[in-house]
Structure formats: structure tokens, C-alpha cells
Amino acid sequence: MSDHHLSRQKVTDALGHRKSLVDAFMEEDRLLRHRLAECPRAFRERRGTDGTLSFKETLAHIAFWEDFTVNFFSRKIDEGSCTPPAPVEFENLSRQSMEEFSQLPFGEVLGRYLEATGAMVDFLKVKWKDLSEREQHDFWIPLKHRRQHRLVLFQNLDDMMAELAQNTVDPCPAKFAAEA
């Protein structure tokens, strides 16, 4: 095989890898949006029976980390920028972010999620080629993180819907009665 053919194959493989990552990311977003459309309003801020994050908290958590990821890697590849060290206190950052988001209405959290997800997809489409192989590998982490939270959230929503079907849960607790 010629060097030109190998080089062209590498470019084709890299583009396919980026496209599959973008497609996977967009599929994760589509699945979340679909479940949101089906989710009763009263369940949007209800935690799972085991204390796992609510839909609102999950969207807030994903928005925070996607925003962090895009900003971190953008600074990393921007030649005029100093690459900041990754913060060591991830748990504290996450906790602080969740406290801030908890004060916001669901629509605001959803808006921030949509902005962060859009920025992540745009970054992958435009800047993927500027990342080193190691950075590209590291970029799969946010997708896996999102997927894990989505799967837990969906299980919780399924459990809540089963409880509702068995009439063991009030679909409209007092907090949401005024909104209904």
C-alpha cells in the first residue's frame, strides 16, 4: 500500500471516528429529550427511591460537565491560551454547581442543558481534528458519563411510572398542584 493511500485511510478513519462520536452524542441527547417529553411534570424534580438524581438534577449535572469539558479542551487547543490544570476538586465543583442549579426553574436548567449540549456537538464537529489522539480518547469520557446518568434516570422514571400505574404514588404532589 502506498504512503498516500495509508495517509488517506488514516484521515478517513479519523473522520469516521469523529462522526460516530458526534452521532452517538446526538443520539444520547435525542433519547433524553424523548423521555423528557413523556415525563409527567411532577416527576421532573423527583429523585429516585434510592436517592439518585432527578431529571432536573441530571440535566443540570450533564450541562455543568459538558460546559466544563468544552471550555477545558478549547483552552487546551487555543494557541494563545494557557492550559489550565484540571481542577482537583471535581466533587466540590459538581456539588457547588448542583446547589446553584437547584435554585433555578426547570425550564432554565433545560435551557442550559440544551446550550451545553449544542456547544459540545459544535466543538466535536469543528475542533475534533485539533485534538491529540490522547485528547480524543479522553473526549469519550463525557459521552460515557452522560450515558450512565441517562440509564440510571430512565430506570428511575420507569420505576415512578410503574408506581403511578399501581396508584402508589401521587402524580401531582402539593408542590406541583398549583402548576397543574
Backbone angles phi, psi at 78, to 5 degrees: -75, 115
Query: pLDDT digits over 7-57, tens only?
Result: 444 433 444 566 787 888 888 889 888 988 888 888 899 888 888 888 999
Sorting pLDDT into bands at 50, 70 and 90, what band is 179? very low
Query: pLDDT digits over 100-114, tens only?
Result: 888 999 999 999 999
Nearest to 59 by CA among 122, 150, 140, 144: 150
3-class state of residue 178 by DSSP: coil
> pTM (2 decimals)?
0.76
pLDDT of residue 117: 92
pLDDT of residue 82: 66
Domains in the chain: how many in total?
Answer: 1
3-class state of residue 39 by DSSP: coil
CATH number of the domain at 169, please.
1.20.120.450
Nearest to 48 by CA among 170, 174, 175, 159: 159
Query: pLDDT digits over 91-148, tens only?
Result: 788 788 888 888 999 999 999 999 999 999 999 899 988 988 888 888 888 778 888 9
**Domain that residue 144 falls in:** 3-177
pLDDT of residue 78: 81
Nearest to 84 by CA among 96, 98, 74: 74
CA distances to 58, 77, 89, 141, 144 from 46, in Å: 11, 39, 27, 27, 24
Instruction: Give Cβ neighbours of residue 100 (< 8 Å, ≥ 6 apart).
Output: none
How many whole angstroms separate alpha carbon 114 and alpha carbon 112? 5
